[in-house]
Amino acid sequence: MKSVSMSQVVRAHDAFRFLWPIQSWGQLTSLGVALAVGLTFIALLCAAIDPTAPMAYIVIPVLLGGLAPVFAALPGRFQVHTRFHAQHFVKTLDEAIRAMGYNRAESIDGHTCYQPQARMVRWKENTITVKVSDHAIVVVGPVFVLRMLQQRLAG
Protein backbone atom coordinates (compact mmCIF):
# COMPACT_ATOMS: atom_id res chain seq x y z
CA MET A 1 0.00 0.00 0.00
CA LYS A 2 2.80 2.40 -0.81
CA SER A 3 0.51 4.30 -3.15
CA VAL A 4 -2.06 5.00 -0.40
CA SER A 5 -1.60 7.31 2.59
CA MET A 6 -4.06 8.12 5.37
CA SER A 7 -4.27 11.24 7.46
CA GLN A 8 -4.87 11.22 11.19
CA VAL A 9 -8.43 11.19 12.49
CA VAL A 10 -9.39 14.75 13.40
CA ARG A 11 -12.49 15.96 15.15
CA ALA A 12 -15.10 17.43 12.81
CA HIS A 13 -17.34 19.23 15.27
CA ASP A 14 -17.63 22.57 16.98
CA ALA A 15 -15.96 23.17 20.35
CA PHE A 16 -19.33 23.55 22.12
CA ARG A 17 -19.95 19.83 21.51
CA PHE A 18 -17.60 19.07 24.41
CA LEU A 19 -20.04 20.91 26.70
CA TRP A 20 -23.10 19.11 25.32
CA PRO A 21 -22.08 15.99 23.38
CA ILE A 22 -25.62 14.62 22.98
CA GLN A 23 -26.59 14.99 19.32
CA SER A 24 -30.14 13.58 19.15
CA TRP A 25 -33.14 12.49 21.19
CA GLY A 26 -32.42 8.84 20.45
CA GLN A 27 -28.92 9.20 21.80
CA LEU A 28 -30.23 10.98 24.92
CA THR A 29 -32.86 8.29 25.51
CA SER A 30 -30.47 5.36 25.15
CA LEU A 31 -27.88 7.11 27.32
CA GLY A 32 -30.52 7.75 30.01
CA VAL A 33 -31.58 4.09 30.01
CA ALA A 34 -27.97 2.89 30.13
CA LEU A 35 -27.11 5.23 33.00
CA ALA A 36 -30.27 4.42 34.95
CA VAL A 37 -30.02 0.65 34.64
CA GLY A 38 -26.44 -0.33 33.93
CA LEU A 39 -24.55 2.20 35.99
CA THR A 40 -26.91 1.86 38.94
CA PHE A 41 -26.13 -1.87 38.95
CA ILE A 42 -22.37 -1.17 38.79
CA ALA A 43 -22.58 1.39 41.60
CA LEU A 44 -24.56 -1.01 43.81
CA LEU A 45 -22.08 -3.80 43.06
CA CYS A 46 -19.14 -1.56 44.04
CA ALA A 47 -20.98 -0.52 47.22
CA ALA A 48 -21.56 -4.19 48.08
CA ILE A 49 -17.86 -4.96 47.62
CA ASP A 50 -16.77 -2.11 49.90
CA PRO A 51 -19.66 -0.90 52.09
CA THR A 52 -17.41 1.58 53.96
CA ALA A 53 -16.59 3.60 50.82
CA PRO A 54 -18.43 6.92 50.53
CA MET A 55 -21.09 6.82 47.81
CA ALA A 56 -19.59 9.88 46.09
CA TYR A 57 -16.34 7.93 45.54
CA ILE A 58 -18.35 5.26 43.73
CA VAL A 59 -21.06 7.21 41.89
CA ILE A 60 -18.92 9.99 40.36
CA PRO A 61 -16.34 7.72 38.64
CA VAL A 62 -19.08 5.36 37.47
CA LEU A 63 -21.07 8.28 36.03
CA LEU A 64 -18.02 9.74 34.28
CA GLY A 65 -17.16 6.30 32.87
CA GLY A 66 -20.71 5.96 31.58
CA LEU A 67 -20.49 9.30 29.77
CA ALA A 68 -17.20 8.47 28.02
CA PRO A 69 -18.84 6.67 25.03
CA VAL A 70 -20.86 9.79 24.23
CA PHE A 71 -17.67 11.78 23.73
CA ALA A 72 -16.19 8.95 21.64
CA ALA A 73 -19.21 9.12 19.31
CA LEU A 74 -18.53 12.76 18.39
CA PRO A 75 -17.90 13.17 14.66
CA GLY A 76 -14.46 13.05 13.11
CA ARG A 77 -12.93 12.63 9.67
CA PHE A 78 -9.83 11.39 7.91
CA GLN A 79 -8.60 11.41 4.34
CA VAL A 80 -7.14 8.68 2.19
CA HIS A 81 -4.81 9.99 -0.55
CA THR A 82 -3.91 7.78 -3.49
CA ARG A 83 -1.47 8.07 -6.38
CA PHE A 84 -3.96 6.36 -8.66
CA HIS A 85 -7.62 7.27 -9.08
CA ALA A 86 -9.32 6.97 -5.70
CA GLN A 87 -12.23 5.00 -7.15
CA HIS A 88 -9.95 1.94 -7.26
CA PHE A 89 -9.54 2.01 -3.45
CA VAL A 90 -13.29 2.28 -2.77
CA LYS A 91 -13.79 -1.50 -2.95
CA THR A 92 -11.18 -2.09 -0.24
CA LEU A 93 -12.70 0.65 1.89
CA ASP A 94 -16.20 -0.76 1.34
CA GLU A 95 -15.09 -4.25 2.43
CA ALA A 96 -13.44 -2.87 5.58
CA ILE A 97 -16.54 -0.87 6.54
CA ARG A 98 -18.83 -3.85 5.93
CA ALA A 99 -16.54 -6.08 8.01
CA MET A 100 -17.09 -3.67 10.91
CA GLY A 101 -20.85 -4.35 10.81
CA TYR A 102 -22.05 -1.51 8.59
CA ASN A 103 -24.39 -1.76 5.61
CA ARG A 104 -24.43 0.55 2.61
CA ALA A 105 -27.46 2.83 2.97
CA GLU A 106 -27.72 5.36 0.15
CA SER A 107 -25.72 7.71 -2.01
CA ILE A 108 -26.55 11.40 -1.81
CA ASP A 109 -24.71 14.04 -3.87
CA GLY A 110 -21.66 11.84 -4.37
CA HIS A 111 -21.54 10.81 -0.69
CA THR A 112 -21.96 7.11 0.09
CA CYS A 113 -23.51 6.46 3.50
CA TYR A 114 -23.10 3.38 5.68
CA GLN A 115 -25.30 2.66 8.69
CA PRO A 116 -24.73 0.15 11.46
CA GLN A 117 -26.71 -3.06 11.27
CA ALA A 118 -29.95 -3.09 13.25
CA ARG A 119 -29.21 -3.06 16.95
CA MET A 120 -31.04 -2.01 20.06
CA VAL A 121 -29.04 1.21 20.24
CA ARG A 122 -28.72 2.64 16.72
CA TRP A 123 -27.98 6.33 16.55
CA LYS A 124 -28.02 8.27 13.31
CA GLU A 125 -24.74 9.78 14.53
CA ASN A 126 -23.03 6.41 13.96
CA THR A 127 -23.41 6.79 10.18
CA ILE A 128 -20.19 6.73 8.13
CA THR A 129 -20.09 8.96 5.06
CA VAL A 130 -17.58 8.47 2.23
CA LYS A 131 -16.88 11.11 -0.44
CA VAL A 132 -14.64 10.17 -3.35
CA SER A 133 -12.77 12.70 -5.49
CA ASP A 134 -9.99 12.20 -8.05
CA HIS A 135 -7.10 11.23 -5.75
CA ALA A 136 -8.64 11.48 -2.28
CA ILE A 137 -11.37 9.90 -0.22
CA VAL A 138 -12.86 11.74 2.78
CA VAL A 139 -14.40 9.50 5.44
CA VAL A 140 -16.62 11.10 8.12
CA GLY A 141 -18.10 9.32 11.13
CA PRO A 142 -17.70 8.74 14.87
CA VAL A 143 -14.11 9.13 16.03
CA PHE A 144 -13.79 5.68 17.63
CA VAL A 145 -15.20 3.97 14.52
CA LEU A 146 -12.83 5.88 12.23
CA ARG A 147 -9.83 4.85 14.32
CA MET A 148 -10.93 1.21 14.13
CA LEU A 149 -11.38 1.59 10.36
CA GLN A 150 -7.89 3.04 9.97
CA GLN A 151 -6.40 0.12 11.90
CA ARG A 152 -8.31 -2.32 9.71
CA LEU A 153 -7.10 -0.62 6.52
CA ALA A 154 -3.49 -0.39 7.70
CA GLY A 155 -3.30 -4.01 8.86
Domains contained in the chain, CATH given: 4-15+75-154 (3.30.310.170), 22-71 (no CATH)
Q: Is the pLDDT of residue 125 over 80?
A: no
pLDDT at 17: 65
Q: Is the pLDDT of residue 121 over 60?
A: no
pLDDT tens digits along 51-76: 888 888 888 888 888 777 777 777 88
Q: Yes or no: say if 17 and 142 are a contact pair by the CB < 8 Å rule.
A: no
Nearest to 87 by CA among 141, 154, 151, 132: 132
Nearest to 76 by CA among 26, 125, 22: 125
Q: Helix or strand or coil: residue 79? A: strand
> Bridge partners of 97?
none
